[in-house]
Amino acid sequence: GTKLGAPHTVPCKVTGKCGSVRVRLIPAPKGTGLCGSPVSKKLLSLAGVDDCFTCSIGQTKTMGNFVKAVFQALSKTYGYLTPDLWQETRLCADPYEVHSEFLAGPKKASFE
């Protein structure tokens, strides 16, 4: 079957940093769930991410910096333009349709 559907994970590996804390969000296959600390799980679920691996480095006990690092990593993912965010394009008429009467007109013979 087709594997198309709504986005369920982050588009690529992204990193957020605040203070000494670095958080890396890694895309995961469908059905994996959120793998990480309870705080990162809560933030990612609020953001609508269903499947994601997380990796953190630094003093993650400082909750404020950890939350800000996760939020910064998430905010980097919103810079990607996915097809559901594309603007609607209005197509103008084809030049052949606009000038069809002129193109279908009688031909002048220049060589007689």
Please list the residues that pair with 17 across neighbouring strands: 22
End-to-end CA distance of the chain: 65
DSSP-assigned letter for residue 110: -
Total number of residues shown for the chain:
112
- Mean pLDDT of all residues in the chain? 87
Residues 50-73: pLDDT tens digits?
999 999 999 999 999 999 999 999
Q: At what angle do helices 38-47 and 63-77 cross, to 10 degrees?
A: 30
- The CA-atom distances, in angstroms, between 3 and each of 29, 50, 81 are 11, 16, 19
* pLDDT for residue 112: 57
pTM over 0.75: no
For residues 15-21, average pLDDT: 96
* pLDDT for residue 1: 47
Q: How confident is the model at residue 105 (pLDDT cuts 50, 70, 90)?
A: confident
Between 86 and 37, whose confidence is greater? Answer: 37
For residues 1-14, average pLDDT: 77
For residues 91-95, average pLDDT: 86
Q: Are 8 and 48 in contact (CB under 8 A)?
A: no
Give per-residue burial for 67-103: e unless 16+ CB within 10 Å, then b: bbbbebbbebbeeeeeeeeeeeeeeeeeeeeeeeeee
